[in-house]
């Protein structure tokens, strides 16, 4: 008998023994589907990762609600308001594919811990900032760690849990997102409103949680490290980072620091396009490309990425300015503004938990994606009608609809891609979805911030038209934040009204982008969910290749 035939017989004997054991112990079948990990082992391993994700989401929400106070205290402008957010998104976006590729080559556990350390360093330094420019610089470092956390936790979950079973645990991730999204603004408002703490503690507050997450990960997360030759595509990483950065910086600065049709715009666009072109050529020849272009041959992956870009533009771009609307236009304190976002988070928690359970139970997932995308379009459409006098009960209802849609859409897009690609590409594919969602978010914050700034400036100039010299003083549209506290009462009222009436336009643009996501999702082909974890699939694929 040949060695190959003997190996095949041995594998069959092993399968028979497993089947007999499963008949004797019915609970083992589920364990086999989860990659040899019991439910308790998975929960223990998730504890550190979910805490790390909590830190990541907390850092975003706790700062966004405090930004009006931060910018006012440091005498920043509307453009700098946008950049404090954009800097973190830009760094996390550019680094996400790199983290994802490294996860296919190195220890996922070590990489998660490294991203936490980077995040802690960035947070501490951001809290020490004495100017908006310094704050933006340290937010970049914070974003590098944030990009790692967002990508690697999803990748590690895919390695441990099968797509069919993952819905059972995605509710936990949804709960973490919900708690951080509700708790962040509330905590940020409390810190800002407490005189002996102040906004700097918005950056310090996540550090203890991150330190605990490091310890938990060391004790509970045990993932096998695939031994393979490492060929890091440094050149591709450099081209990708420079290309994306150039284009995003152009989108952010154009219209404020220089005209859209100008020499500066031409240089930024030409440099960004050339770098992206060089990146694509490099990826075709690289032995271990950062973003394997073969992923885009798959219909599900390509459509999910298009939908992720549109969802990112709508969700990140619009949500960043919610706190600004509630505080500047409606006059609520940071704490009250956080409480007013609870309906959106409640909808997100409810839909992500229920849809995850139903997906695990039925194995069907596309219907939830379609319904979720429809609700996102509807939610943003309703929010596009708000102004400075909108009834807050109606406003809460609009947020609830939006939250339900986001909860059914975000995680399931990642699930659809992870269910389709080969196990060896799980890291790259998962990070590609996260990358394009963050890319959309960065573009959304930049473009919608420019739209808001321009529209607010127009409305203020119209309101000041009868006052000699006043309209010229507001010509830049920056008066809304930097001089708000020092402005006379009548001018403050005009600024509040202008911000309230201008915000609806942002949500209208978001609704159009959400409609693009809906069209892409409709054309995604539903594939039955696999019952093997990423690690189990990797072993199966390796065995098949060897045979």
Query: 519, 369 in Cβ contact below 8 A?
Result: no
The torsion angle over the Cα atoms of residues 403, 406, 412 and 417, rounded to 10 degrees, is: -160
Instruction: Tell me the three-class secondary structure of 3-67, residue by residue.
Output: HHHHHHHHHHHHHHHHHHHHHHCCCHHHHHHCCCCCHHHHHHHHHHHHHHHHHHHHHHHHHHCCH
Phi, psi of 430 (to 5 degrees): -60, -45
**Cβ atoms < 10 Å from Cβ of 115:** 25
- C-alpha 411: how far from chain center: 10
- The dihedral region occupied by 469, where left means phi > 0, alpha psi between -120 and 50, and beta the remainder, is left
403 — pLDDT class (breaks 50, 70, 90): confident
Res 270: pLDDT: 94
Query: 117, 62 in Cβ contact below 8 A?
Result: no
Contact partners, residue 391, CB within 8 Å, separation at least 6? none
398 — pLDDT class (breaks 50, 70, 90): very high
What is the CB-side half-sphere exposure of residue 7 using CA atoms within 13 A?
A: 7
Give the C-alpha separation, 250 to 239, whole Å. 17
Least confidently predicted of 121-135, 162-176, 462-476, 511-525: 462-476
Instruction: Tell me the three-class secondary structure of 252-314, residue by residue.
Output: HHECCCECCCCHHHHHHHHHHHHHHHHHHHHHHHCCCCCCCHHHHHCHHHHHHHHHHHHHHHH
Alpha-carbon distances, residue 492 vs 73, 390, 480 (angstroms)? 17, 19, 8
pTM: 0.71
Give the C-alpha separation, 309 to 443, whole Å. 9
Least confidently predicted of 184-193, 203-212, 277-286: 184-193
Res 416: pLDDT: 82
Give the C-alpha separation, 316 to 441, whole Å. 5
462 — pLDDT class (breaks 50, 70, 90): confident
CA R_g for the chain: 24
Alpha-carbon distances, residue 128 vs 15, 65, 77, 381 (angstroms)? 59, 19, 20, 40
Give the C-alpha separation, 105 to 225, whole Å. 8
Quickly name the fold that domain 34-222+288-525 has. Growth Hormone; Chain: A; (1.20.1250)
Res 227: pLDDT: 55
For the chain, the domains span 34-222+288-525, 233-287
Of 136, 111, 114, 115, the residue nearest 126 (C-alpha)? 136
Of 75, 158, 225, the residue nearest 425 (C-alpha)? 158
Angle CA(81)–CA(252)–CA(477) in degrees, nearest 5?
Answer: 55
| Segment 456-463 mean pLDDT | 77
Give the C-alpha separation, 355 to 365, whole Å. 8
pLDDT digits (tens, 9 = 90+) for 211-258: 888 888 888 877 766 555 656 677 887 888 788 778 877 876 776 677
Res 24: pLDDT: 40
């Amino acid at each position: 008998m040949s060695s190959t035939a003997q190996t095949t017989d041995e594998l069959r004997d092993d399968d028979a023994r497993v089947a007999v054991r499963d008949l004797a112990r019915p609970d083992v079948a589920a364990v086999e589907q989860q990659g040899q990990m019991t439910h308790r082992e998975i929960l223990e391993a998730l504890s550190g990762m979910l805490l790390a994700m909590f830190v990541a989401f907390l850092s975003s929400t706790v700062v966004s609600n405090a930004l009006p106070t931060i910018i006012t205290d440091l005498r920043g402008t509307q453009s700098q308001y946008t950049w404090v957010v954009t800097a973190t998104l830009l760094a996390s976006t550019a680094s996400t594919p790199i983290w994802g590729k490294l996860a296919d080559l190195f220890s996922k556990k070590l990489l998660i811990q490294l991203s936490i350390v980077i995040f802690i360093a960035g947070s501490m330094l951001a809290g020490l900032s004495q100017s908006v420019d310094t704050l933006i610089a340290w937010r970049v470092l914070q974003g590098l760690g944030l990009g790692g956390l967002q990508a690697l936790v999803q990748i590690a979950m895919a390695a441990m849990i099968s797509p069919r079973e993952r819905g059972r645990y995605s509710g936990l991730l949804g709960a973490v997102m919900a708690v951080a999204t509700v708790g962040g603004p509330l905590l940020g408002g409390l810190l800002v409103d407490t005189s002996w703490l102040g906004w700097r503690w918005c950056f310090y507050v996540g550090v203890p949680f991150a330190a605990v997450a490091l310890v938990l990960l060391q004790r509970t997360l045990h993932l096998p490290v695939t031994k393979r030759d490492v060929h890091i595509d440094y050149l591709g990483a450099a081209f990708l980072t420079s290309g994306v950065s150039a284009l995003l910086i152009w989108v952010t600065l154009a219209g404020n620091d220089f005209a859209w049709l100008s020499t500066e715009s031409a240089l930024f666009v030409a440099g960004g396009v050339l770098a992206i072109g060089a990146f694509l050529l490099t990826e075709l020849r690289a032995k271990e490309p950062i973003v394997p272009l073969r992923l885009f041959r798959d219909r599900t992956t390509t459509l999910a990425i298009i939908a992720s870009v549109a969802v990112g533009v709508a969700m990140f771009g619009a949500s960043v300015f919610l706190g600004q609307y509630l505080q500047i236009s409606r006059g609520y304190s940071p704490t009250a503004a956080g409480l007013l976002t609870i309906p959106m988070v409640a909808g997100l928690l409810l839909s992500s938990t229920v849809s995850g359970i139903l997906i695990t139970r039925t194995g069907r997932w596309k219907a939830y994606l379609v319904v979720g995308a429809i609700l996102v379009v509807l939610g943003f459409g309703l929010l596009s009608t708000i102004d400075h006098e909108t009834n807050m009960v109606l406003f809460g209802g609009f947020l609830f609809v939006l939250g339900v849609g986001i909860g059914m859409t975000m995680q399931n897009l990642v699930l659809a891609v992870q269910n389709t690609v080969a196990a060896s590409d799980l890291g790259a594919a998962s990070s590609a979805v996260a990358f394009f969602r963050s890319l959309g978010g960065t573009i959304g914050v930049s473009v919608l911030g420019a739209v808001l700034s321009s529209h607010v400036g127009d409305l203020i100039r119209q309101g000041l038209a009868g006052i000699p010299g006043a309209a010229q003083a507001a010509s830049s549209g920056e008066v809304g934040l930097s001089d708000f506290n020092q402005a006379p009462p009548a001018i403050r009222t005009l600024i509040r009204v202008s911000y309230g009436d201008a915000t609806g336009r942002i949500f209208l643009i978001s609704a159009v982008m959400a409609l693009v996501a809906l069209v892409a999702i409709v054309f995604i082909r539903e594939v039955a969910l696999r019952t093997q974890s990423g690690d189990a699939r990797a072993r199966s694929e390796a065995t098949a290749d060897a045979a």
